Amino acid sequence: MPTISRAEVEHLARLARLAVTDQELDKFAGQLDVILEAVAKVTEVAADDVPPTSHAVPLTNVFRQDVVRPGLTQQQALAGAPAAEDGRFRVPRILGEEQ
């Protein structure tokens, strides 16, 4: 079972440039022990005969078949436009004259 000493916590705090009190060192050492124990339990569960997974449940491809379907012609698309010019949608200018 992994344990972390008060001196190690103090060293880590110094590396991280954290100002911690003596009470905090003791508290953090206990908290880090709990974290290290949890990580150790997870590594015990991971066995060689258990395949790695990316999802908890199996997934299948949910995409539809890619089927070519007829679309709008240029004239049909422009028919509903408020303004058209030279076979394109005409929109208000949003940029200034500087170019």
71 φψ region: left (φ > 0), alpha (ψ -120 to 50), beta (else): beta
Phi, psi (degrees; rounded to nearest 5) at 49:
-85, 0
Residue 55 has pLDDT above 90, yes or no: no
Alpha-carbon separation of residue 45 from 27, 34, 52 (angstroms): 28, 17, 12
pTM value is: 0.44
pLDDT at residue 2 in the model: 59
3-state secondary structure of 84: strand
CATH of domain 6-45: 1.10.20
pLDDT at residue 49 in the model: 77
Q: What are the domain boundaries of the chain?
A: 6-45
Residue found under tokens 């076979």: 87
pLDDT (average), residues 39-59: 78
